[in-house]
Amino acid sequence: MKKLIALSVWLSICVCSLVAAFAQESSKTYPPPKVLVVMREYLKPGRQGSAHQQSESAFVSAMKSANWPSHYFAADALSGPPRSLFFVRYDSFADWEKDNLATMNNATLAAALDKASLADGDLLTEYDTGVSLYREDLSLRAPVDIPHMRYFEITVFVVKPGHGAEWEALAKEYIGAIEKADSTAHWAMFESMYGANNGGVFISFVAMKSLAEVDHSLANAKQVMSSLGEAELKKLDAMEASCLESVQTNLFAFDPKMSYPPDEWVKADPDFWGSK
């Protein structure tokens, strides 16, 4: 039941977090990328914050100088070990390859990035890259007003070997249950394909504008569980116990000073994305 409660809290956060996104009539929603590349930098103690932001400014400057068409944004961990995530979106694996080749063939940009990487490496204990594929069929109302969001709640689901079909059935059961409970719930689900965590690993992203949404979700968790009904809860609990190895959730705050956002994001919220 412990995992079920954790997932119910996760889902109740999904329920309330879309309210802020639609509060602005002029907001524009953005669909998740088909291919998501996430670079993780684990930091030495005391090297997060301004020290890391200063180091990362070299990457941002290099991208700006090259007027590079591929953009990324950063988020810093508020839970777990000190680390920063860098998100790059692509429409396909072919587009990712094209971007990599173009970067290598641009001598000026490649040299600047190499120099920045060398300096940034002194702050790190570990670095890795993961590549995930968007699973629209396991997501719910995934497009959000991402330029006005400030946090990600990221949940990693590790599926037991041989239980992939059962996991997908469970995820779709949750979608059906939550759609009945609230019409504003949302999350984007990705399946990890490459990197340290792949093979039965699924990652959900819930974007939030304020951490007050977490307070609201915790207050509403019992109501969400009650709306599902005892029979539905028992069914989901049994499916979880059967197919899930583990569930872990962490919180991340967007960091504009380490990001190279699209111009459209900067125009949408210049006070946040334009601050350097």
Q: What is the pLDDT of residues 49-82, one digit of tens each?
A: 899 999 999 999 999 999 999 999 999 999 999 9
CA distance 253 to 163: 33
6 pLDDT above the threshold of 90 = no
Phi, psi (5° rounding) for residue 249? -120, 140
**pLDDT-based confidence at residue 177 (cuts at 50, 70, 90):** confident
Look at 3 and 209; give whichever has higher pLDDT: 209
Tens digits of residue pLDDT in 33-47:
999 999 999 999 989
Res. 26: pLDDT tops 60: no
CA-based nearest residue to 259, from 70, 25, 46, 102: 70
Q: Is the pLDDT of residue 3 over 50?
A: no
C-beta neighbour count of 204 within 10 angstroms: 26
> pLDDT tier at 164 (50, 70, 90 boundaries)?
very high
pLDDT band at 219 (very low <50, low <70, confident <90, very high): confident
The whole-number pLDDT of residue 275 equals: 67
| Positive or negative: CA dihedral 100, 139, 77, 159 | negative
Domains 2-32+133-252 and 36-131 alike in fold: yes
Asked if 73 contacts 260 with a C-beta cutoff of 8 angstroms, the reply is yes
Segment 232-248, tens digit of pLDDT: 888 889 999 999 999 99
d(CA 151, CA 210): 7
Q: 170 near 239, Cβ under 8 Å?
A: yes
What share of the chain in percent tops pLDDT 90? Answer: 71
pLDDT of residue 7: 52
| Extents of the domains making up the chain | 2-32+133-252, 36-131
Greater pLDDT, 121 or 17 = 121
Question: What's the pLDDT tens digit per position in 82-127?
Answer: 999 999 999 999 999 999 999 999 999 999 999 999 999 999 999 9
CATH 3.30.70.100 fits 2-32+133-252, yes or no: yes
Using CB atoms within 10 Å of the CB of residue 97, give its burial: 0 to 12 exposed, 13 to 18 middle, 19+ buried. Answer: exposed
Average pLDDT, the chain: 88
Contacts of 237 by beta carbon, 8 Å cutoff, 6+ apart: 1, 3, 4
Using the predicted structure, report yes or no on whether residue 11 has a pLDDT greater than 80.
no
What pLDDT was estimated at residue 16? 45
Average pLDDT over residues 179-191: 83
Torsion of CA 79, 128, 94, 199, to 10 degrees: -80
Paired with 255 in beta bridges are: 74
Distance CA 12, CA 14 (A): 5
Q: Which SS3 state, helix, strand or coil, does residue 178 take?
A: helix
CATH for 36-131? 3.30.70.100
C-alpha distance from residue 125 to each of 40, 43, 49, 122, 240 (Å)? 11, 6, 15, 8, 34
Average pLDDT over residues 255-265: 97
Nearest 10 degrees: Cα torsion 232, 238, 241, 246: -10
